[in-house]
Amino acid sequence: MITARLSRSPGPRRTRPAPLLGQHNHELLTELGLTAREITALEADGVIGRAPTR
């Protein structure tokens, strides 16, 4: 068996969990120009989901 030696590698990677489904909806839709009322209406109509609380 050959073992790879990575003496010039950048070191350990820092990972974080993936975002939850819908977690960034409000931020993104606000940046696109939607108001809080419009986003709430989309949630109420089932068009977009609401991020579950952890």
**Cα angle value 18/24/43 (rounded, 5°):** 125
pLDDT at 7: 72
d(CA 26, CA 4): 45
Give the distance from CA 17 to its chain's centroid: 9
pLDDT at 28: 96
pLDDT at 18: 87
pLDDT in tens, 3-39: 777 777 777 777 888 888 889 999 999 999 999 999 9
d(CA 11, CA 46): 44
pLDDT at 1: 74
Nearest of 22, 17, 18 to residue 53 by alpha carbon: 22
pTM: 0.62
pLDDT at 38: 97
Residue 53 scores a pLDDT above 70: no
